[in-house]
Amino acid sequence: MQIIDGKELARIIRSNLKEEVEQLKEKGIQPKLAVIMVGDDKASKVYVRNKSKACEEIGILYEEYLLEETTTMDELLSLINKLNEDETINGILVQSPLPKGLDANVAFRTISPKKDVDGFNPINVGKLSLNQDCFVSCTPYGIIKMLESKNIEIEGKHAVIIGRSNIVGKPLIQCLLNKNATVTVCHSKTQNLGEITKTADILVAAIGKPKFVTEDMVKDNAVVIDVGINRTDEGKLVGDVDFENVSKKASYITPVPGGVGPMTVAMLMVNVVKAAKNNM
Ligand code: NAD
């Protein structure tokens, strides 16, 4: 069994980006990301801090807009529109979840597709499904990079995704299909889940339930990707996979922490640099 070290792979990606950003600066291009956060969701604060740290390390300019919980949809949309028009900003990101009463889908579709570095605007979602050049949402993009980093064959393999969220499960279906996998997607209403997951060559868990995937659900030598981030009562981070037991069966497995999480942030940085280059 081999561990796919997302932390190390993300470090290499950031280090390559740093060099690229230095070269862009010599050409007078300075990538810049604007992050909007509404309210003070605890987990979102951690994610936003990780994104700002990554920007600082790479040399991407970073602007943060922290809005009150009571912000109205009109106020949020008018800020997004202002940032859309600001030529110095290449990427715009609205951190989810938004407080009740604010519609994230409306916010995402208001972000200019050219600055939509999270890949949540319907234009980018549509382009991904047509296998056209676009901003790919960062978690699925990171998962593909992790598989590629180990030369894991995707073409012709049976990939099973547990979870059909708009930010992970659904875009990952397209990413894996674009790489010629045979893709099955499972969700909370799926029957005989374990029977399906046991046929997976590549099994991805994006559920949000600690240690949900147990060894009896996994085929021998499967590649297991754990997207879940769950905090235990003791404050420890655990994934959706029972790592200790599943790792004995898997050929490759991603850890939590240090797996998909750091890759998501690294791919966001890749997208911001891509947005800046698209503007050249
Ligand atoms: P979500 O809550 O939007 O979706 C969860 C999905 O799991 C749903 O599609 C649901 O149908 C499915 N599900 C729930 N119970 C199930 C069951 N009993 N059997 C089968 N399927 C079931 O979640 P999300 O936003 O996709 O996030 C999933 C997990 O991944 C969370 O732990 C989240 O924190 C984590 N996450 C991590 C990253 C990262 O960068 N590592 C990024 C995004 C999300």
Domains with residue ranges and CATH for the chain: 28-112 (3.40.50.10860), 138-260 (3.40.50.720)
What share of the chain has pLDDT > 70, as a percent? 100
pLDDT at 159: 99
Alpha carbon 42 to chain centroid distance? 18
Mutate to test the pocket of ligand 1, among 173, 189, 207 (most ligand atoms within 8 A of CB): 207
Distance 208 CA to ligand 1 centre (A): 4
| Helices 260-278 and 42-58: angle between axes, nearest 10 degrees | 50
pLDDT at 108: 98
Distance 160 CA to ligand 1 centre (A): 14
Closest protein CA for atom 8 of ligand 1: 163
Does residue 206's CB lie within 6 angstroms of at least one atom of ligand 1? yes
Active site residue 132: no
Sign of the alpha-carbon dihedral angle for 41, 45, 51, 56? positive
pLDDT at 280: 76
**Exposure class string for 170-203: b at 16+ Cβ within 10 A, else e:** bbbbbbbbbbebebbbbeeeeeebeebbbebbbb
Mean pLDDT of 158-180: 98
> Which one is catalytic: 32, 115, 116, 118?
118
Distance CA 92, CA 275 (A): 10
Q: Is the pLDDT of residue 205 over 90?
A: yes
Distance CA 265, CA 120 (A): 15
Does residue 161's CB lie within 6 angstroms of at least one atom of ligand 1? no
Q: Is the pLDDT of residue 279 over 90?
A: no
Active site residue 51: yes
Mean pLDDT of 223-252: 97
Tokens found for residue 131: 């296998």
Bridge partner residues of 66 (DSSP):
37
Mean pLDDT of 86-114: 98
The pTM assigned to this predicted structure is 0.98
pLDDT averaged over the chain?
98
Paired sense of beta strands 61-67 and 158-162, if any: unpaired
Mean pLDDT of 251-263: 98
Of 273, 220, 279, 229, which Cα lies nearest the Cα of 254? 229
What's 205-252 look like in SS3? ECCCCCCCECHHHCCCCCEEEECCCEECCCCCEECCECHHHHCCCCCE
Does residue 164's CB lie within 6 angstroms of at least one atom of ligand 1? yes
Does residue 139's CB lie within 6 angstroms of at least one atom of ligand 1? yes
> Which one is catalytic: 95, 127, 157, 201?
95
Alpha carbon separation from 213 to 86, 156, 193 (Å, rounded): 45, 23, 10
Distance CA 65, CA 40 (A): 12
